[in-house]
Amino acid sequence: MDKASVVYTEDALFAPAPLWRSFQMCTKQPLASALDHLQLVGETLNDKGEPHPFAEATLICTAITTASYSLWMLHDDATERRHRALQFNFKDCEGWGGFCRSDRHDPDATDDDRTRADDVITEARRRKDWIVDQANTLTGASHTFGQFKDSLPRDVEIIEEAAGIHVLTAWRFLSGYSHGLPWATLGNQVPASGTPQPDAQMVTVTQKGNPTQLLKAAFLTLEVIEKATAQFRKLCAA
């Protein structure tokens, strides 16, 4: 990587204390997650010959989310790029602190476990305070901690902004599958074998995975990954 590159410059802000999260980590790790999920989809379909009723949809949905986050952060505009990376790191710290808050309330947690959790919660808050200060300086805003937190974009906004409406539509459908919501799954239900029961006024069905839908979504995800990879390489050049 060229030391005059955008990525090298962003690393200089994010990699040292207090974040210890390089810009490279923030953008490359989500791509690695997306590729890993898609690889498992491919391996499962090759080994099994057909999709599971729900599982592959969840994997591709996650891949869309992570790939979109990476592409979203790799913006050409310097201010927008850095602001989005700060927002991503705030979300990261929120998740870290939230995990520790849950962990410290585990009935099996020891006093040492709870002490370590409290230390992490304190550190995560310190980092988030730093992020809010940096974001205000960068953008000229005067957001309080709560205002900055409330302004964070949701997954649906990030996916549409980075990947477009077609990818967002696929993501919404897959998300319905992931959460077991009937509206997404009804079209892929087939009558179960056995004797119908007309007196019960019910039809017994079996849930089926739809390989055509899954492959279409997987290829859309690959396009997002390819765009993010190309943009990352561009920002690594001088």
pLDDT band at residue 194, thresholds of 50, 70 and 90? low
Percent of the chain with pLDDT over 90: 86
Residue 209: the pLDDT is 86
pLDDT surpassing 60 at residue 195? no
Helices (H), 155-210: 155-163, 165-178, 182-185
Query: How many Å apart are CA 20 and CA 220, to the nearest integer?
Result: 32
pLDDT surpassing 80 at residue 205? no
Q: Which residue has the higher pLDDT, 206 or 161?
A: 161
pLDDT digits over 105-127, tens only? 999 999 999 999 999 999 999 99
Per-residue pLDDT, averaged over 10-30, amounts to 95
Query: How many Å apart are CA 86 and CA 223, to the nearest integer?
Result: 25
pLDDT surpassing 80 at residue 221? yes
Would you call the peptide bond into 30 cis, given omega within 30 degrees of 0 as the criterion? no
Triad 149, 77, 170: Cα angle to 5°:
65
Bridge partners of 189? 207
Q: Are 161 and 71 in contact (CB under 8 A)?
A: no
Residue 48: the pLDDT is 92
Percent of the chain with pLDDT over 70: 94
Predicted structure pTM score: 0.92
Per-residue pLDDT, averaged over 210-226, amounts to 96
Q: Which two tokens stand for residue 105?
A: 């309330």
pLDDT digits over 56-107, tens only? 999 999 999 999 999 999 999 999 999 999 999 999 999 999 999 999 999 9
Residue 125: the pLDDT is 97
pLDDT digits over 144-175, tens only? 999 999 999 999 999 999 999 999 999 999 99
pLDDT digits over 54-64, tens only? 999 999 999 99
Per-residue pLDDT, averaged over 123-144, amounts to 97
Chain mean pLDDT for the chain: 93
